[in-house]
């Protein structure tokens, strides 16, 4: 560990750190674009932290990763439906998956939080709130773990080489869940 003060360490590595982060983001976006075009190797997933848990998202089911945007709450909505955000000129519903799964929100600085938008092919204009984006993961580098009887959209579990458990969130299955499309507290069919 360096004996330099935190401020001098940050200032001396700030430009390098920003350069590495920008390079990583460019590579990630290129891979996501390749996935949309069908030229990616199978089994590549985006690793994220949601509700303190490690999760995997299929690259073909997501559109983009954006920094946390201001969210306007929607009256009479469930607590997991945070509201609407303006993402590239489109109003996008923001879902807190930790709350959706009845978990406490994870602890992470706002600067690390991201919105991950659904791929247009899923037919839902919404985004998941992720505490942190952890990068790409290969399913071939992981061992499938036994399912715990969870709903279809999150019943696949994997264990990486370090013994950490990852939950694969299948967004295509999630949007089929009736509870997911019922964001209002009032039942309009009653």
pLDDT digits (tens, 9 = 90+) for 92-130: 999 999 999 888 776 778 889 999 999 999 999 999 999
89: left (phi over 0), alpha (psi -120 to 50) or beta: left
What strands, in cross-sheet order, belong to the sheet with 62-67?
62-67, 114-118, 126-130, 90-95, 81-87, 71-72
Lowest mean pLDDT, pick from 25-39, 105-119, 131-145, 175-189: 25-39
pTM passes above 0.85: no
Q: CA–CA separation, 48 vs 131, rounded Å?
A: 7
The better pLDDT of the pair 103, 77 is held by 77
Spell out where 103-164 has E strands.
114-118, 126-130, 132-138, 143-145, 156-159
pLDDT over 80 (residue 180) = yes
Percentage of residues of the chain with pLDDT beyond 70: 75
| 3-state secondary structure (DSSP) of residue 69 | coil
Q: What is the mean pLDDT of residues 59-85?
A: 95
Instruction: To the nearest 10°, report the CA torsion of 76, 80, 86, 88.
Output: -150
Percentage of residues of the chain with pLDDT beyond 90: 59
Q: Please name the fold of domain 42-181.
A: OB fold (Dihydrolipoamide Acetyltransferase, E2P) (2.40.50)
| H or E element in which residue 81 lies | strand 81-87
User: Residue 13: its pLDDT value, please?
Assistant: 61
Beta bridge partners, 184, equal 77
pLDDT in tens, 20-70: 666 677 667 666 666 555 544 567 899 999 999 999 999 999 999 999 999
All structural domains of the chain with their residue ranges: 42-181
pLDDT over 70 (residue 188) = no
Sign of CA dihedral 177, 183, 186, 190: negative
**Average per-residue pLDDT for the chain:** 83
């Amino acid at each position: 560990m360096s004996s330099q003060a935190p401020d001098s360490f940050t200032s001396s590595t700030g430009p390098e750190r920003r350069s590495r982060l920008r390079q990583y983001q460019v590579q990630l976006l290129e891979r996501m674009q390749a996935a949309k075009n069908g030229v990616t190797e199978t089994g590549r997933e985006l690793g994220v932290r949601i509700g303190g848990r490690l999760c995997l998202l299929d690259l073909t089911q997501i559109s983009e990763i954006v920094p946390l945007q201001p969210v306007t709450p929607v009256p009479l909505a469930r607590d997991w439906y945070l509201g609407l955000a303006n993402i590239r000129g489109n109003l996008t519903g923001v879902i807190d998956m930790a709350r959706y799964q009845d978990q406490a929100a994870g602890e992470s600085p706002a600067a690390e939080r991201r919105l991950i938008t659904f791929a247009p092919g899923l037919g839902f204009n919404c985004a998941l709130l992720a505490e942190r984006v952890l990068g790409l993961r290969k399913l071939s580098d992981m061992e499938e773990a036994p399912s715990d009887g969870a709903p279809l959209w999150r019943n696949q579990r994997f264990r990486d080489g370090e013994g950490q458990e990852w939950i694969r969130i299948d967004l295509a299955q999630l949007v089929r869940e009736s509870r997911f499309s019922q964001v209002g507290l009032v039942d309009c069919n009653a």
